[in-house]
Structure 1
Amino acid sequence: MTNKTTDLALFLARVEQTLDRLDAWLPAPVTPPDWSSAIAFRWLRRGAQARLEAITHPHLIRVEDLQDVSDQVARLDANTRQFVRGRPANNALLTGARGTGKSSLVKAMLDRYHAKGLRLIEVDKQDLMDLPDIVELVRGRKERFVLFCDDLSFEDAEPAYKALKSVLDGSLAAVPDNVIIYATSNRRHLMPEYHAENLQARNVDGEIHLGEATEEKVSLSERFGLWLSFYPFSQDAYLDIVHHWLREFGLNDAKIEKARTEALQWALGRGSRSGRVAWQFARDYAGRHGGGTKR
Protein backbone atom coordinates (compact mmCIF):
# COMPACT_ATOMS: atom_id res chain seq x y z
CA MET A 1 0.00 0.00 0.00
CA THR A 2 2.83 2.35 0.82
CA ASN A 3 4.51 1.75 -2.56
CA LYS A 4 1.25 2.36 -4.40
CA THR A 5 0.72 5.60 -2.51
CA THR A 6 4.25 6.73 -3.35
CA ASP A 7 3.81 5.86 -7.02
CA LEU A 8 0.53 7.76 -7.14
CA ALA A 9 2.12 10.78 -5.53
CA LEU A 10 4.97 10.73 -8.05
CA PHE A 11 2.51 10.38 -10.91
CA LEU A 12 0.43 13.31 -9.71
CA ALA A 13 3.58 15.39 -9.28
CA ARG A 14 4.56 14.69 -12.89
CA VAL A 15 1.07 15.58 -14.09
CA GLU A 16 1.23 18.86 -12.18
CA GLN A 17 4.63 19.68 -13.71
CA THR A 18 3.30 18.91 -17.19
CA LEU A 19 0.26 21.13 -16.66
CA ASP A 20 2.52 23.94 -15.43
CA ARG A 21 4.55 23.70 -18.63
CA LEU A 22 1.39 23.71 -20.73
CA ASP A 23 0.11 26.79 -18.90
CA ALA A 24 3.23 28.66 -19.98
CA TRP A 25 2.34 28.00 -23.62
CA LEU A 26 -1.38 28.63 -23.46
CA PRO A 27 -2.48 32.18 -24.34
CA ALA A 28 -3.49 34.18 -21.30
CA PRO A 29 -6.52 36.51 -21.43
CA VAL A 30 -5.51 40.00 -22.53
CA THR A 31 -6.19 42.63 -19.90
CA PRO A 32 -7.53 45.86 -21.42
CA PRO A 33 -5.21 48.83 -20.89
CA ASP A 34 -6.11 52.09 -19.20
CA TRP A 35 -7.67 53.66 -22.27
CA SER A 36 -7.43 57.13 -20.76
CA SER A 37 -3.65 56.88 -20.35
CA ALA A 38 -2.73 57.46 -24.01
CA ILE A 39 -4.03 58.15 -27.51
CA ALA A 40 -1.79 55.53 -29.15
CA PHE A 41 -1.04 51.93 -28.26
CA ARG A 42 1.22 49.14 -29.46
CA TRP A 43 0.25 45.46 -29.60
CA LEU A 44 3.05 43.37 -28.11
CA ARG A 45 3.32 39.60 -28.11
CA ARG A 46 5.96 37.61 -26.25
CA GLY A 47 5.35 33.91 -26.78
CA ALA A 48 1.90 33.10 -25.44
CA GLN A 49 1.53 36.43 -23.67
CA ALA A 50 0.12 39.48 -25.43
CA ARG A 51 -0.87 42.96 -24.30
CA LEU A 52 -1.66 46.45 -25.47
CA GLU A 53 1.06 48.85 -24.36
CA ALA A 54 0.31 52.56 -24.09
CA ILE A 55 2.59 54.84 -26.10
CA THR A 56 2.81 57.77 -23.73
CA HIS A 57 4.80 60.00 -26.08
CA PRO A 58 3.63 59.23 -29.64
CA HIS A 59 5.39 60.80 -32.62
CA LEU A 60 2.73 63.17 -33.88
CA ILE A 61 3.02 65.21 -37.06
CA ARG A 62 1.00 68.24 -38.06
CA VAL A 63 -0.88 68.05 -41.33
CA GLU A 64 0.67 71.42 -42.19
CA ASP A 65 4.12 69.79 -42.18
CA LEU A 66 3.21 67.43 -45.02
CA GLN A 67 4.35 69.08 -48.22
CA ASP A 68 3.48 68.28 -51.87
CA VAL A 69 1.01 65.50 -50.97
CA SER A 70 -2.08 67.68 -50.71
CA ASP A 71 -4.35 65.32 -52.66
CA GLN A 72 -3.42 62.34 -50.48
CA VAL A 73 -3.91 64.46 -47.36
CA ALA A 74 -7.35 65.63 -48.48
CA ARG A 75 -8.58 62.12 -49.29
CA LEU A 76 -7.37 60.43 -46.10
CA ASP A 77 -8.54 63.39 -44.02
CA ALA A 78 -12.05 63.11 -45.49
CA ASN A 79 -12.11 59.36 -44.82
CA THR A 80 -10.88 59.80 -41.24
CA ARG A 81 -13.33 62.61 -40.57
CA GLN A 82 -16.19 60.36 -41.67
CA PHE A 83 -14.87 57.63 -39.39
CA VAL A 84 -14.64 59.74 -36.22
CA ARG A 85 -18.14 61.07 -36.87
CA GLY A 86 -19.49 57.53 -36.89
CA ARG A 87 -20.21 57.54 -40.61
CA PRO A 88 -19.21 54.83 -43.12
CA ALA A 89 -15.51 54.94 -44.02
CA ASN A 90 -13.03 52.72 -45.84
CA ASN A 91 -9.93 50.83 -44.83
CA ALA A 92 -6.99 52.60 -46.49
CA LEU A 93 -3.84 51.34 -48.21
CA LEU A 94 -1.06 53.90 -48.71
CA THR A 95 1.55 52.69 -51.18
CA GLY A 96 4.51 54.10 -53.05
CA ALA A 97 8.06 55.31 -52.83
CA ARG A 98 9.89 55.22 -49.52
CA GLY A 99 10.13 58.37 -47.45
CA THR A 100 7.29 60.18 -49.22
CA GLY A 101 4.99 60.63 -46.22
CA LYS A 102 2.82 57.52 -46.01
CA SER A 103 3.37 56.81 -42.30
CA SER A 104 3.55 60.52 -41.51
CA LEU A 105 0.09 61.04 -42.98
CA VAL A 106 -1.42 58.40 -40.68
CA LYS A 107 0.28 60.02 -37.67
CA ALA A 108 -1.03 63.39 -38.80
CA MET A 109 -4.58 62.04 -38.70
CA LEU A 110 -4.05 61.02 -35.08
CA ASP A 111 -2.71 64.48 -34.29
CA ARG A 112 -5.73 66.13 -35.92
CA TYR A 113 -8.50 63.91 -34.56
CA HIS A 114 -7.41 62.44 -31.23
CA ALA A 115 -9.40 65.12 -29.39
CA LYS A 116 -12.49 63.77 -31.18
CA GLY A 117 -11.90 60.24 -29.92
CA LEU A 118 -9.53 58.82 -32.54
CA ARG A 119 -7.05 56.27 -31.18
CA LEU A 120 -4.27 54.38 -32.96
CA ILE A 121 -3.10 50.81 -32.32
CA GLU A 122 0.15 49.85 -34.04
CA VAL A 123 0.34 46.19 -35.07
CA ASP A 124 3.51 44.62 -36.47
CA LYS A 125 3.25 42.23 -39.38
CA GLN A 126 4.26 39.22 -37.30
CA ASP A 127 1.34 39.92 -34.95
CA LEU A 128 -1.38 40.18 -37.57
CA MET A 129 -2.63 36.74 -36.55
CA ASP A 130 -3.87 38.49 -33.40
CA LEU A 131 -6.09 40.94 -35.27
CA PRO A 132 -9.32 39.15 -34.27
CA ASP A 133 -8.27 39.37 -30.61
CA ILE A 134 -7.52 43.09 -30.93
CA VAL A 135 -10.85 43.71 -32.61
CA GLU A 136 -12.71 41.97 -29.79
CA LEU A 137 -10.74 43.95 -27.20
CA VAL A 138 -12.00 47.29 -28.54
CA ARG A 139 -15.48 46.18 -29.57
CA GLY A 140 -18.09 48.36 -27.89
CA ARG A 141 -15.67 51.11 -26.86
CA LYS A 142 -16.75 54.71 -27.47
CA GLU A 143 -13.38 55.59 -29.06
CA ARG A 144 -12.67 55.13 -32.76
CA PHE A 145 -9.65 52.88 -33.42
CA VAL A 146 -7.26 52.87 -36.36
CA LEU A 147 -5.31 49.61 -36.53
CA PHE A 148 -2.05 50.79 -38.09
CA CYS A 149 0.11 48.32 -40.03
CA ASP A 150 3.26 50.11 -41.16
CA ASP A 151 5.63 49.05 -43.96
CA LEU A 152 3.53 46.03 -44.77
CA SER A 153 4.55 43.36 -47.26
CA PHE A 154 4.22 39.61 -47.43
CA GLU A 155 6.11 36.73 -48.91
CA ASP A 156 4.22 33.88 -50.50
CA ALA A 157 2.14 31.69 -48.17
CA GLU A 158 2.63 33.77 -45.01
CA PRO A 159 -0.19 33.02 -42.53
CA ALA A 160 -0.45 36.69 -41.53
CA TYR A 161 -1.55 37.45 -45.10
CA LYS A 162 -4.72 35.41 -44.75
CA ALA A 163 -5.36 36.78 -41.25
CA LEU A 164 -5.39 40.34 -42.56
CA LYS A 165 -7.46 39.32 -45.57
CA SER A 166 -10.05 37.73 -43.31
CA VAL A 167 -10.40 40.72 -41.00
CA LEU A 168 -10.64 43.16 -43.91
CA ASP A 169 -13.46 41.31 -45.59
CA GLY A 170 -14.27 37.66 -45.48
CA SER A 171 -14.57 36.55 -41.88
CA LEU A 172 -17.96 35.42 -40.61
CA ALA A 173 -17.49 37.66 -37.55
CA ALA A 174 -18.36 41.27 -38.32
CA VAL A 175 -15.75 43.95 -37.62
CA PRO A 176 -17.27 46.64 -35.36
CA ASP A 177 -17.84 50.07 -36.82
CA ASN A 178 -15.36 51.66 -34.38
CA VAL A 179 -12.42 49.87 -36.06
CA ILE A 180 -10.66 50.70 -39.32
CA ILE A 181 -7.35 49.56 -40.81
CA TYR A 182 -4.73 51.88 -42.29
CA ALA A 183 -1.71 50.15 -43.85
CA THR A 184 1.39 51.44 -45.63
CA SER A 185 3.52 49.51 -48.09
CA ASN A 186 6.10 49.94 -50.82
CA ARG A 187 4.20 47.29 -52.80
CA ARG A 188 0.86 48.11 -54.34
CA HIS A 189 -0.44 44.57 -53.93
CA LEU A 190 1.53 43.87 -50.70
CA MET A 191 3.18 40.75 -52.15
CA PRO A 192 6.05 40.13 -54.60
CA GLU A 193 5.05 39.94 -58.24
CA TYR A 194 6.93 37.83 -60.79
CA HIS A 195 7.21 38.08 -64.54
CA ALA A 196 6.11 34.47 -64.93
CA GLU A 197 2.74 35.31 -63.39
CA ASN A 198 1.97 37.61 -66.31
CA LEU A 199 2.29 34.64 -68.65
CA GLN A 200 -0.70 33.04 -66.92
CA ALA A 201 -3.04 35.78 -68.16
CA ARG A 202 -5.63 34.70 -70.74
CA ASN A 203 -7.46 36.60 -73.44
CA VAL A 204 -11.11 35.53 -73.58
CA ASP A 205 -13.33 37.32 -76.09
CA GLY A 206 -11.16 40.41 -75.87
CA GLU A 207 -11.14 40.45 -72.04
CA ILE A 208 -7.95 39.87 -70.06
CA HIS A 209 -8.27 37.32 -67.26
CA LEU A 210 -5.43 37.29 -64.76
CA GLY A 211 -3.73 34.11 -63.63
CA GLU A 212 -4.64 32.56 -60.27
CA ALA A 213 -1.44 33.73 -58.56
CA THR A 214 -2.03 37.33 -59.61
CA GLU A 215 -5.71 37.16 -58.68
CA GLU A 216 -4.77 36.00 -55.16
CA LYS A 217 -2.41 38.93 -54.69
CA VAL A 218 -4.81 41.52 -56.05
CA SER A 219 -7.61 40.17 -53.85
CA LEU A 220 -5.93 41.45 -50.66
CA SER A 221 -5.28 45.00 -51.84
CA GLU A 222 -8.80 45.17 -53.27
CA ARG A 223 -10.18 44.71 -49.77
CA PHE A 224 -8.94 48.22 -48.98
CA GLY A 225 -11.62 50.61 -50.16
CA LEU A 226 -9.27 53.60 -50.33
CA TRP A 227 -5.98 53.48 -52.25
CA LEU A 228 -3.53 56.35 -51.96
CA SER A 229 -0.40 56.39 -54.11
CA PHE A 230 2.78 58.31 -53.25
CA TYR A 231 5.42 59.18 -55.84
CA PRO A 232 9.08 60.28 -55.76
CA PHE A 233 9.44 64.04 -55.42
CA SER A 234 10.75 66.27 -58.16
CA GLN A 235 13.77 68.46 -57.44
CA ASP A 236 11.60 71.52 -56.89
CA ALA A 237 9.27 69.64 -54.56
CA TYR A 238 12.22 68.27 -52.60
CA LEU A 239 13.65 71.79 -52.19
CA ASP A 240 10.25 73.09 -51.09
CA ILE A 241 10.24 70.51 -48.30
CA VAL A 242 13.81 71.41 -47.30
CA HIS A 243 12.86 75.10 -47.13
CA HIS A 244 9.78 74.31 -45.06
CA TRP A 245 11.76 72.43 -42.43
CA LEU A 246 14.56 75.00 -42.33
CA ARG A 247 11.95 77.67 -41.62
CA GLU A 248 10.55 75.42 -38.89
CA PHE A 249 14.04 75.25 -37.39
CA GLY A 250 14.11 79.03 -37.29
CA LEU A 251 16.62 79.83 -40.05
CA ASN A 252 16.27 83.10 -41.95
CA ASP A 253 15.73 83.39 -45.70
CA ALA A 254 19.40 84.12 -46.43
CA LYS A 255 20.60 80.92 -44.76
CA ILE A 256 17.81 78.93 -46.39
CA GLU A 257 18.79 80.15 -49.84
CA LYS A 258 22.43 79.19 -49.23
CA ALA A 259 21.32 75.67 -48.33
CA ARG A 260 20.14 74.86 -51.88
CA THR A 261 23.38 73.40 -53.24
CA GLU A 262 24.10 71.38 -50.09
CA ALA A 263 20.54 70.06 -50.08
CA LEU A 264 20.88 68.77 -53.64
CA GLN A 265 24.25 67.20 -52.86
CA TRP A 266 22.76 65.54 -49.79
CA ALA A 267 19.96 64.00 -51.87
CA LEU A 268 22.45 62.86 -54.52
CA GLY A 269 24.52 61.14 -51.86
CA ARG A 270 21.47 59.37 -50.48
CA GLY A 271 20.17 58.43 -53.91
CA SER A 272 16.72 59.77 -53.09
CA ARG A 273 14.73 63.02 -53.10
CA SER A 274 12.18 62.12 -50.47
CA GLY A 275 10.50 63.94 -47.64
CA ARG A 276 12.50 61.88 -45.16
CA VAL A 277 15.80 62.84 -46.80
CA ALA A 278 14.73 66.52 -46.82
CA TRP A 279 13.93 66.33 -43.10
CA GLN A 280 17.25 64.69 -42.31
CA PHE A 281 19.18 67.29 -44.29
CA ALA A 282 17.29 70.15 -42.59
CA ARG A 283 18.16 68.77 -39.15
CA ASP A 284 21.83 68.52 -40.06
CA TYR A 285 22.00 71.93 -41.73
CA ALA A 286 20.08 73.70 -38.98
CA GLY A 287 22.32 72.13 -36.36
CA ARG A 288 25.42 73.42 -38.15
CA HIS A 289 24.03 76.91 -38.80
CA GLY A 290 22.48 77.89 -35.50
CA GLY A 291 18.94 76.64 -35.95
CA GLY A 292 16.84 75.87 -32.93
CA THR A 293 14.49 72.99 -32.19
CA LYS A 294 11.48 72.62 -34.47
CA ARG A 295 8.68 74.98 -33.60
Structure 2
Amino acid sequence: MSDGSNPDPLLRIADALERLSPAPEKQKDIHSGTAFHWDGAAAHAIDNFMPLSLDLLTGIDDQKARLLENSERLANGHAAHDVLLWGSRGMGKSALIKSVVGVLSHRGHNLAIVEAAADQLKSLPELFALLSQTDRPFILFVDDIGFDENNAAPRLLRSLLEGGAAQRPANVRLYVTSNRRHIVPRQMAEQDDPVNPRDVLDDKLALSDRFGVRLGFHAASQDDYLAMIEKYAQVHGLAFDPADALLWSKQRGSRSGRIAWQYVVELCGRAGKKLD
Protein backbone atom coordinates (compact mmCIF):
# COMPACT_ATOMS: atom_id res chain seq x y z
CA MET A 1 0.00 0.00 0.00
CA SER A 2 1.32 3.48 -0.81
CA ASP A 3 0.77 6.72 1.07
CA GLY A 4 0.30 10.24 -0.32
CA SER A 5 4.02 11.00 -0.18
CA ASN A 6 4.91 7.85 -2.13
CA PRO A 7 2.26 7.24 -4.81
CA ASP A 8 1.92 3.88 -6.51
CA PRO A 9 4.62 3.57 -9.25
CA LEU A 10 2.04 2.13 -11.64
CA LEU A 11 -0.14 5.21 -11.20
CA ARG A 12 2.83 7.48 -11.85
CA ILE A 13 3.61 5.56 -15.03
CA ALA A 14 -0.03 5.76 -16.17
CA ASP A 15 -0.09 9.52 -15.55
CA ALA A 16 3.12 9.97 -17.52
CA LEU A 17 1.80 7.96 -20.46
CA GLU A 18 -1.40 9.98 -20.51
CA ARG A 19 0.59 13.22 -20.67
CA LEU A 20 2.69 11.84 -23.53
CA SER A 21 -0.38 10.61 -25.44
CA PRO A 22 -3.24 13.03 -24.80
CA ALA A 23 -6.77 12.08 -25.75
CA PRO A 24 -7.47 12.67 -29.48
CA GLU A 25 -9.13 15.93 -30.40
CA LYS A 26 -12.88 15.71 -30.40
CA GLN A 27 -14.47 15.54 -33.86
CA LYS A 28 -15.68 18.97 -34.96
CA ASP A 29 -19.44 19.33 -35.27
CA ILE A 30 -20.08 19.24 -39.02
CA HIS A 31 -23.52 20.80 -38.61
CA SER A 32 -22.08 24.26 -37.92
CA GLY A 33 -19.39 26.27 -39.66
CA THR A 34 -18.80 26.87 -43.35
CA ALA A 35 -15.33 25.43 -44.00
CA PHE A 36 -13.42 22.41 -42.72
CA HIS A 37 -10.10 20.69 -43.28
CA TRP A 38 -9.89 16.89 -43.37
CA ASP A 39 -6.57 15.60 -42.01
CA GLY A 40 -7.20 11.95 -42.80
CA ALA A 41 -8.83 11.17 -39.46
CA ALA A 42 -10.95 14.15 -38.39
CA ALA A 43 -12.59 17.30 -39.73
CA HIS A 44 -11.27 20.55 -38.29
CA ALA A 45 -13.06 23.87 -38.64
CA ILE A 46 -11.36 26.63 -40.64
CA ASP A 47 -12.20 29.59 -38.46
CA ASN A 48 -10.67 32.28 -40.69
CA PHE A 49 -12.41 31.24 -43.90
CA MET A 50 -12.48 34.49 -45.89
CA PRO A 51 -12.76 33.81 -49.64
CA LEU A 52 -12.29 36.51 -52.26
CA SER A 53 -15.35 38.33 -53.46
CA LEU A 54 -16.67 36.63 -56.58
CA ASP A 55 -16.72 39.98 -58.38
CA LEU A 56 -12.95 40.28 -58.02
CA LEU A 57 -12.33 37.19 -60.15
CA THR A 58 -11.94 38.57 -63.66
CA GLY A 59 -11.70 36.93 -67.08
CA ILE A 60 -13.51 33.71 -66.06
CA ASP A 61 -17.14 34.81 -66.25
CA ASP A 62 -18.42 31.63 -67.90
CA GLN A 63 -16.64 29.43 -65.37
CA LYS A 64 -18.05 31.52 -62.52
CA ALA A 65 -21.62 31.25 -63.80
CA ARG A 66 -21.46 27.48 -64.37
CA LEU A 67 -19.85 26.67 -61.04
CA LEU A 68 -22.22 28.93 -59.14
CA GLU A 69 -25.24 27.32 -60.83
CA ASN A 70 -24.07 23.78 -60.07
CA SER A 71 -23.22 24.67 -56.47
CA GLU A 72 -26.58 26.34 -55.91
CA ARG A 73 -28.30 23.16 -57.12
CA LEU A 74 -26.34 21.19 -54.53
CA ALA A 75 -27.15 23.75 -51.83
CA ASN A 76 -30.87 23.42 -52.66
CA GLY A 77 -30.79 19.64 -52.49
CA HIS A 78 -31.19 19.23 -56.25
CA ALA A 79 -29.20 17.05 -58.63
CA ALA A 80 -25.67 18.43 -59.07
CA HIS A 81 -22.45 17.34 -60.75
CA ASP A 82 -18.95 16.56 -59.58
CA VAL A 83 -16.67 19.19 -61.13
CA LEU A 84 -13.18 19.13 -62.59
CA LEU A 85 -11.48 22.53 -62.90
CA TRP A 86 -8.43 22.14 -65.11
CA GLY A 87 -5.94 24.35 -66.86
CA SER A 88 -3.30 27.02 -66.42
CA ARG A 89 -1.72 27.70 -63.06
CA GLY A 90 -2.80 30.78 -61.14
CA MET A 91 -6.04 31.40 -63.06
CA GLY A 92 -8.33 31.22 -60.03
CA LYS A 93 -9.50 27.60 -59.96
CA SER A 94 -9.16 27.19 -56.18
CA ALA A 95 -10.19 30.76 -55.43
CA LEU A 96 -13.36 30.34 -57.50
CA ILE A 97 -14.50 27.29 -55.54
CA LYS A 98 -14.05 29.09 -52.23
CA SER A 99 -15.68 32.27 -53.49
CA VAL A 100 -18.76 30.37 -54.67
CA VAL A 101 -19.12 28.80 -51.23
CA GLY A 102 -18.79 32.24 -49.68
CA VAL A 103 -21.51 33.68 -51.93
CA LEU A 104 -23.98 30.89 -51.20
CA SER A 105 -23.26 31.03 -47.48
CA HIS A 106 -23.93 34.78 -47.53
CA ARG A 107 -27.25 34.06 -49.27
CA GLY A 108 -28.26 31.86 -46.35
CA HIS A 109 -27.58 28.40 -47.79
CA ASN A 110 -26.37 25.68 -45.44
CA LEU A 111 -23.66 24.56 -47.86
CA ALA A 112 -20.18 23.80 -46.45
CA ILE A 113 -16.80 23.01 -47.95
CA VAL A 114 -14.33 20.38 -46.78
CA GLU A 115 -10.75 20.64 -48.03
CA ALA A 116 -8.73 17.45 -48.35
CA ALA A 117 -5.17 17.10 -49.60
CA ALA A 118 -4.56 14.96 -52.66
CA ASP A 119 -2.51 12.53 -50.56
CA GLN A 120 -5.55 11.84 -48.35
CA LEU A 121 -7.59 10.05 -51.04
CA LYS A 122 -7.32 6.70 -49.27
CA SER A 123 -9.00 8.16 -46.17
CA LEU A 124 -11.96 9.69 -48.02
CA PRO A 125 -14.28 6.71 -47.35
CA GLU A 126 -13.99 7.57 -43.64
CA LEU A 127 -14.86 11.19 -44.43
CA PHE A 128 -17.82 10.08 -46.55
CA ALA A 129 -19.07 7.96 -43.66
CA LEU A 130 -18.96 11.07 -41.46
CA LEU A 131 -20.69 13.37 -43.96
CA SER A 132 -23.38 10.81 -44.74
CA GLN A 133 -24.65 11.16 -41.17
CA THR A 134 -26.34 14.44 -42.13
CA ASP A 135 -28.39 15.77 -45.03
CA ARG A 136 -26.33 18.95 -45.08
CA PRO A 137 -24.79 19.54 -48.55
CA PHE A 138 -20.99 19.48 -48.77
CA ILE A 139 -18.42 20.31 -51.42
CA LEU A 140 -15.36 18.10 -51.02
CA PHE A 141 -12.51 20.18 -52.42
CA VAL A 142 -9.33 18.37 -53.54
CA ASP A 143 -6.78 20.84 -54.86
CA ASP A 144 -4.05 20.45 -57.46
CA ILE A 145 -4.22 16.77 -58.28
CA GLY A 146 -1.47 15.48 -60.51
CA PHE A 147 -0.70 11.83 -61.13
CA ASP A 148 2.62 10.22 -61.85
CA GLU A 149 3.11 6.90 -63.51
CA ASN A 150 2.36 3.82 -61.36
CA ASN A 151 0.22 5.92 -59.03
CA ALA A 152 -2.92 4.29 -57.62
CA ALA A 153 -4.69 7.63 -57.17
CA PRO A 154 -6.62 7.55 -60.48
CA ARG A 155 -8.26 4.24 -59.58
CA LEU A 156 -9.07 5.49 -56.08
CA LEU A 157 -10.69 8.64 -57.39
CA ARG A 158 -12.63 6.78 -60.06
CA SER A 159 -14.00 4.42 -57.42
CA LEU A 160 -15.05 7.32 -55.22
CA LEU A 161 -16.80 9.09 -58.06
CA GLU A 162 -18.70 6.18 -59.53
CA GLY A 163 -19.28 2.50 -59.04
CA GLY A 164 -17.13 1.79 -55.99
CA ALA A 165 -18.32 0.41 -52.70
CA ALA A 166 -17.14 3.61 -50.98
CA GLN A 167 -18.51 6.11 -53.48
CA ARG A 168 -19.40 9.53 -52.18
CA PRO A 169 -22.83 10.01 -50.56
CA ALA A 170 -25.67 11.88 -52.26
CA ASN A 171 -25.16 15.07 -50.22
CA VAL A 172 -21.49 15.37 -51.25
CA ARG A 173 -19.97 16.47 -54.54
CA LEU A 174 -16.29 16.49 -55.44
CA TYR A 175 -14.68 19.64 -56.81
CA VAL A 176 -11.18 18.78 -58.04
CA THR A 177 -8.55 21.08 -59.53
CA SER A 178 -5.69 20.02 -61.77
CA ASN A 179 -3.14 21.69 -63.96
CA ARG A 180 -3.78 19.03 -66.62
CA ARG A 181 -6.98 18.59 -68.56
CA HIS A 182 -7.22 14.85 -68.18
CA ILE A 183 -5.44 14.69 -64.81
CA VAL A 184 -3.20 11.80 -65.79
CA PRO A 185 -0.33 12.37 -68.26
CA ARG A 186 -0.80 11.49 -71.91
CA GLN A 187 2.60 10.56 -73.24
CA MET A 188 3.44 10.50 -76.89
CA ALA A 189 4.60 6.90 -76.47
CA GLU A 190 1.01 5.87 -75.81
CA GLN A 191 -0.10 7.27 -79.14
CA ASP A 192 2.74 5.48 -80.93
CA ASP A 193 2.02 2.13 -79.30
CA PRO A 194 0.84 -0.18 -82.11
CA VAL A 195 -1.15 -2.37 -79.66
CA ASN A 196 -4.60 -0.89 -79.12
CA PRO A 197 -3.46 2.74 -78.66
CA ARG A 198 -7.07 3.94 -78.47
CA ASP A 199 -7.76 1.60 -75.56
CA VAL A 200 -4.87 3.10 -73.64
CA LEU A 201 -6.10 6.64 -74.22
CA ASP A 202 -9.67 5.69 -73.35
CA ASP A 203 -8.49 4.33 -70.03
CA LYS A 204 -6.67 7.57 -69.33
CA LEU A 205 -9.72 9.66 -70.24
CA ALA A 206 -12.08 7.53 -68.15
CA LEU A 207 -11.26 9.46 -64.98
CA SER A 208 -12.06 12.90 -66.38
CA ASP A 209 -15.25 11.45 -67.87
CA ARG A 210 -16.49 10.80 -64.32
CA PHE A 211 -16.96 14.55 -63.84
CA GLY A 212 -20.28 15.89 -65.10
CA VAL A 213 -18.87 19.41 -65.40
CA ARG A 214 -15.37 20.17 -66.67
CA LEU A 215 -14.28 23.80 -66.63
CA GLY A 216 -11.17 24.90 -68.53
CA PHE A 217 -8.97 27.77 -67.36
CA HIS A 218 -6.64 29.12 -70.03
CA ALA A 219 -3.70 31.49 -69.78
CA ALA A 220 -4.88 35.10 -69.53
CA SER A 221 -4.78 37.33 -72.57
CA GLN A 222 -3.07 40.67 -72.24
CA ASP A 223 -6.44 42.44 -71.97
CA ASP A 224 -7.71 40.01 -69.32
CA TYR A 225 -4.51 40.37 -67.31
CA LEU A 226 -4.76 44.17 -67.30
CA ALA A 227 -8.48 43.96 -66.46
CA MET A 228 -7.63 41.84 -63.41
CA ILE A 229 -5.13 44.41 -62.20
CA GLU A 230 -7.56 47.26 -62.86
CA LYS A 231 -10.25 45.57 -60.77
CA TYR A 232 -7.88 44.98 -57.84
CA ALA A 233 -6.46 48.50 -58.17
CA GLN A 234 -9.92 50.07 -57.99
CA VAL A 235 -10.77 48.16 -54.83
CA HIS A 236 -7.54 49.17 -53.09
CA GLY A 237 -7.35 52.75 -54.39
CA LEU A 238 -4.21 52.25 -56.47
CA ALA A 239 -3.01 53.75 -59.72
CA PHE A 240 -0.93 51.72 -62.15
CA ASP A 241 0.89 51.99 -65.47
CA PRO A 242 -0.19 49.26 -67.94
CA ALA A 243 3.30 49.17 -69.43
CA ASP A 244 4.79 48.51 -66.00
CA ALA A 245 2.19 45.82 -65.34
CA LEU A 246 3.04 44.08 -68.61
CA LEU A 247 6.75 44.28 -67.82
CA TRP A 248 6.02 42.62 -64.46
CA SER A 249 4.33 39.68 -66.21
CA LYS A 250 7.04 39.45 -68.88
CA GLN A 251 9.70 39.15 -66.18
CA ARG A 252 7.77 36.24 -64.68
CA GLY A 253 7.14 34.50 -67.96
CA SER A 254 3.33 34.31 -67.73
CA ARG A 255 0.07 36.21 -67.33
CA SER A 256 -2.42 34.92 -64.77
CA GLY A 257 -4.63 35.99 -61.91
CA ARG A 258 -1.87 35.05 -59.48
CA ILE A 259 0.70 37.20 -61.30
CA ALA A 260 -1.81 40.06 -61.40
CA TRP A 261 -2.36 39.81 -57.65
CA GLN A 262 1.38 39.74 -56.99
CA TYR A 263 1.71 42.93 -59.01
CA VAL A 264 -1.02 44.57 -56.91
CA VAL A 265 0.87 43.55 -53.76
CA GLU A 266 3.93 45.22 -55.29
CA LEU A 267 1.91 48.38 -56.01
CA CYS A 268 0.69 48.50 -52.42
CA GLY A 269 4.23 48.10 -51.16
CA ARG A 270 5.49 50.90 -53.40
CA ALA A 271 2.69 53.17 -52.18
CA GLY A 272 3.37 52.35 -48.54
CA LYS A 273 -0.09 50.84 -48.14
CA LYS A 274 -1.28 47.79 -46.25
CA LEU A 275 -3.46 45.16 -47.90
CA ASP A 276 -6.59 44.35 -45.87
What is the TM-score with the length of structure 1 in the denominator? Answer: 0.80
Is 1:273–2:255 an aligned residue pair? yes
Residues 35-184 of structure 1 correspond to what in structure 2 (within 5 A)? 35=30, 38-45=33-40, 50-114=41-105, 115-173=108-166, 175-184=168-177
For residue 190 of structure 2, what is the amino acid of its counterpart?
E
Shift of 1:29: 10
Q: For the pair shown, which has the larger CA radius of gyration, 1 or 2? A: 1
Q: Is the 8 A contact 2:159 2:166 kept in 1?
A: no
Question: Size of the alignment, in residue pairs?
Answer: 253
Shift of 1:293: 3.1
Shift of 1:97: 0.6
Q: Deviations over 1:114-158 (max 9, x none)?
A: 230111111111110111111110103132111101011111232
Secondary structure, counterpart of 1:77 in structure 2: helix
Shift of 1:91: 0.2
Q: Is the 8 A contact 1:267 1:277 kept in 2?
A: yes
In structure 2, C-alpha distance between the alignment counterparts of 1:89 and 1:243, rounded to whole Å? 34
Is 1:285–2:267 an aligned residue pair? yes
In structure 1, C-alpha distance between the alignment counterparts of 2:254 and 2:50, rounded to whole Å? 23
Secondary structure, counterpart of 2:102 in structure 1: helix
Q: Give the fraction of aligned pairs with identical amino acids, expressed as a percent.
A: 36
User: Which of 114-123 and 221-230 deviates more?
Assistant: 114-123
For residue 265 of structure 2, what is the amino acid of its counterpart?
R
In structure 1, C-alpha distance between the alignment counterparts of 2:68 and 2:133, rounded to whole Å? 24
In structure 2, C-alpha distance between the alignment counterparts of 1:201 and 1:73, rounded to whole Å? 42
Q: Deviations over 1:198-224 (max 9, x none)?
A: 12478xxxxxx7533322210111000
Shift of 1:168: 0.3
For residue 63 of structure 1, what is the amino acid of its counterpart?
L
In structure 1, C-alpha distance between the alignment counterparts of 2:188 and 2:269, rounded to whole Å? 47
Secondary structure, counterpart of 2:114 in structure 1: strand
Q: Deviations over 1:22-64 (max 9, x none)?
A: xx9xxx999631235531111114xxxx221211112412110
In structure 1, C-alpha distance between the alignment counterparts of 2:98 and 2:194, rounded to whole Å? 39
Unaligned 5+ segments in structure 2 are: 1-20
Unaligned 5+ segments in structure 1 are: 1-23, 203-208
Is 1:220–2:207 an aligned residue pair? yes
Q: Is the 8 A contact 1:149 1:184 kept in 2?
A: yes
User: Which of 236-245 and 109-118 deviates more?
Assistant: 109-118
Q: 1:162 to 1:174 in 2, by over 3 A?
A: closer
Q: 1:51 to 1:140 in 2, by over 3 A?
A: closer
In structure 2, C-alpha distance between the alignment counterparts of 1:213 and 1:140, rounded to whole Å? 39
Is 1:245–2:232 an aligned residue pair? yes
User: Which structure has more RCO (C-alpha within 8 Å, separation ≥ 6)?
Assistant: 2
Aligned to 1:18: none
Q: Deviations over 1:146-200 (max 9, x none)?
A: 1101011111232232211101012135532210000010111111111011124
In structure 2, C-alpha distance between the alignment counterparts of 1:157 and 1:31, rounded to whole Å? 37
What is the TM-score with the length of structure 2 in the denominator? Answer: 0.85
Aligned to 2:244: 262
Aligned alpha-carbon RMSD (Å)? 2.2
In structure 2, C-alpha distance between the alignment counterparts of 1:100 and 1:199, rounded to whole Å? 33
In structure 1, C-alpha distance between the alignment counterparts of 2:131 and 2:100, rounded to whole Å? 19
Aligned to 2:222: 235
Q: Is the 8 A contact 1:92 1:224 kept in 2?
A: yes
Q: Is the 8 A contact 1:129 1:159 kept in 2?
A: no
Is 1:32–2:32 an aligned residue pair? no
Secondary structure, counterpart of 2:39 in structure 1: strand
